Amino acid sequence: MINSKHVLLIVAGGIAAYKALDLIRLLRQNYMDVKCVLTQSGSEFITPLSIQTLSQNEVYQDLFSLTQNHKIEHIFLTREADLIVVYPATANLIAKTALGLADDLASTLLLAVPSSTPIIIAPAMNVEMWENSTTQNHIQTLKKKNILIAGPDKGIMACEEYGYGRLIQPKTIMCLINKTLFPMQPLKGKKALVTAGPTYEPIDPIRFIGNYSSGRQGYAIAESLHKAGAEVTLVSGPVHLPSPENINLIKVTTAQEMLQACFTNLPVNIAVMTAAVSDWRIKNVAQQKIKKEKNALPPVLEMDFNPDILACIAQNSNERPDLVIGFAAETQNHLKYAEDKRKNKKCDWIVVNDVKPDTNIMGGTENEVTIISSSGMEHLKKAGKKEISHLLTLKIIKFFATINKG
């Protein structure tokens, strides 16, 4: 089973509490399981229902209640969390945490956090409250306890005063969360090659043979591998996606161009071949537009085979990557066809999905896949393509951790 990180988010009161909803979205998009504690003052600004809808988990509010499994909330919530985030943190909650007071669920669980679990607190309050010596003393106390203080920012506040006290933006704290949870970048020093999107095989100067691949899965995998520390080259067919940051993007059109780009960028440690490469190309591409003739069908197109890029990479004895992952999109018998493909092409893993039209997977934003290797099959339930990418990256990290131990 591939596991995601578990984040416990405490939402305290204040006008900035609404930003917690955006942070929950980002946490989920970054493949993290989010459980939320909403303080009484926080519930004056956002509702438990909105948090539950976005987090897909129960919202906790009551210190004296038990879970459905009869567990004490402030104990079990802190034990399963990889990280505790308070966003926003009021002056009151900061003071209680610094002094060790525990009179509600949020303050009690902050006192019950194991010393090995990191805590990030993001203050939000009026500038005078922030600059008050008492608050600053509490902040220094928290820092001495190795609690990370994120912000606050400087600017105009809801009270129309200016200064430090604004809650930092969700994207800013998301970066800090990632650095806290993934400090080592486990794929640092590894090189990865990812292919994505369709290929277009020209018929004449304005027509082509193509498919519905959007490239989203390949782009998401490239970004996920980069976040894990890998140096990534992304070879992309024609897509309508923004260029990813800090990734070597090579744009191609045809299968032959994609093959050439792949071999030019070897050797690599990891090859993830998600591109939907056309199996055939036109043997004799017309140099001019094929004109429509009255009452006459166009000429018969003579076809030729395209190179099998996955097989070429997997069977490359000179510069074969340590891990070669192929993708298979099938409309029937997808598990059998994928296993046959893995064996025939001699790749290590095949990631297969069922792309019948009613699944909306081909070209869509979600995916449901099965990872097939020589050791068996692992099904990943339907999820966003970014989440699928993260789970695949975790499996890649485990692969290299295992061979390094060996």
CATH class assigned to 191-288+299-405: alpha beta
Average pLDDT along the chain:
88
Q: Of the listed 36, 159, 175, 312, which one is catalytic? A: 159
| Mean pLDDT, residues 176-191 | 86
Cα angle at 133 between 131 and 137, to 5 degrees? 110
Confidence at residue 2, expressed as pLDDT on a 0 to 100 scale: 46
Three-state secondary structure string covering the chain: CCCCCEEEEEECCCHHHHHHHHHHHHHHHCCCEEEEEECCCHHHCCCHHHHHHHHCCCEECCCCCECCCCCEHHHHHHHHCCEEEEEEECHHHHHHHHHCCCCCHHHHHHHCCCCCCCEEEEECCCHHHHHCHHHHHHHHHHHHCCCEECCCEEEECCCCCEEEEECCCHHHHHHHHHHHHCCCCCCCCCEEEEEECECCEEEECCEEECCCCCCHHHHHHHHHHHHCCCEEEEEECCCCCCCCCCCEEEECCCHHHHHHHHHHCCCCCEEEECCECCCEEECCCCCCCCCCCCCCCCCCCCEEECCCHHHHHHCCCCCCCCEEEEEEEECCCHHHHHHHHHHHHCCCEEEEEECCHHHCCCCCCEEEEEEEECCEEEEEEEEEHHHHHHHHHHHHHHHHHHHHHC
The structural domains of the chain, with segments of one domain joined by +, span: 6-181, 191-288+299-405
Report pLDDT digits (tens) over 235-285: 999 999 999 888 999 999 999 999 999 999 999 999 999 999 998 999 888
pTM above 0.75, yes or no: no
Position 359 scores a pLDDT of: 60
Q: Quick one: pLDDT band at residue 69, thresholds 50, 70, 90?
A: low
Name the residue with higher pLDDT: 11 or 386.
11
Mean pLDDT, rounded, for 11-33:
89
Identify the pLDDT of residue 392.
92
- Provide the 10 A C-beta neighbour count for residue 143: 13
Question: For 10-54, what is the HEC assignment?
Answer: EECCCHHHHHHHHHHHHHHHCCCEEEEEECCCHHHCCCHHHHHHH
Q: How far, in Å, are 84, 217, 300, 363 from residue 333 at the CA level?
A: 44, 22, 31, 20
* Mean pLDDT along residues 286-290: 88
The answer to whether 175 is a known catalytic residue is no
- Pairing type for strands 59-60 and 33-38 reads parallel
**CATH topology for the 6-181 domain:** Rossmann fold (3.40.50)
Q: What pLDDT score does 85 carry?
A: 96
Q: Cα separation of 282 and 195, whole Å?
A: 22
Please answer whether residues 333 and 339 qualify as being in contact, where contact means their C-beta atoms are separated by less than 8 angstroms: no
Chain position carrying tokens 């990418």: 389
Whether 202 has a pLDDT exceeding 80, the answer reads yes
What's the burial of 101, exposed, middle or buried (CB within 10 Å: 0-12/13-18/19+)? middle
- Identify the residue whose tokens are 């997997």: 314
Which of residues 324 and 31 earns the better pLDDT score?
324
Nearest to 275 by CA among 337, 232, 208, 222: 222
Backbone φ and ψ of 119, nearest 5°: -125, 135
Query: What would the mean pLDDT of 131-154 be, rounded to a whole number?
Result: 92
Domains 6-181 and 191-288+299-405 share a fold: yes
Distance CA 66, CA 72 (A): 5
The neighbouring-strand residues paired with 119 are 84
